[in-house]
Amino acid sequence: MNARRRFVVCEDGSEYIQRFARFLGESFDFVPAADYAAARAAISAAHGLLLDLDFRRTPPDRLIDEQGRTAAALDAGTRARLAETQGILILRRLRAEGITAPAILFADVDDAGQAGFLRRTLAPLTLASSRLGVREIAELLGGSS
């Protein structure tokens, strides 16, 4: 059995996974997931989930709403709202399905009340600044179980 920790990296591009693989790939395995469906498919074989918050580059038909549904046609306002919070919506859907893997959400949440609400309702969840350095990220990954 592979003793290396494996993490699903859910983002709408490849910046996080490239950075993690380049700087942390000797210690951890990273699996890309571009949307909810890919994250759901990959999480069972992973130690945890790393999520970006904003998915503005994701095609509208792959964005999920608050109920986990997708729609091919979204008005601009709805599309923007779903894209801006997609990481939260993906994690919320996974939690609703009983997925309890530790998650790290890369989001700069300045409101302490909102941060506390997210941590309570999406636990186990770590909120991490998008400006964290590689050393701090490695510490977070090593502490996840």
Residue 72: the pLDDT is 82
Question: Residues 25-54: what's their mean pLDDT?
Answer: 97
User: pLDDT class for 131, splitting at 50, 70, 90?
Assistant: confident
Mean pLDDT over each residue of the chain, to the nearest integer: 94
Question: What is the spatial distance between Cα 2 and Cα 96, in angstroms, rounded to a whole number?
Answer: 29
Please say if the pLDDT value at position 23 is more than 60.
Answer: yes
pTM of the model: 0.93
Q: Please, are residues 52 and 87 in contact by the beta-carbon 8 Å criterion?
A: yes
**Percentage of the chain exceeding pLDDT 70:** 97
Average pLDDT of span 53-59:
96
**b/e map 68-92, b = 16+ CB within 10 Å:** eebeeebeeeebebbbebbbbbbbb
pLDDT of residue 2: 53
Q: Are 102 and 49 in contact (CB under 8 A)?
A: yes
Question: Which tens digits make up the pLDDT trace of 63-96?
Answer: 999 999 998 889 999 999 999 999 999 999 999 9
Residue linked to tokens 């909102």? 114
Domain ranges for the chain: 1-24+35-41+61-102+119-130
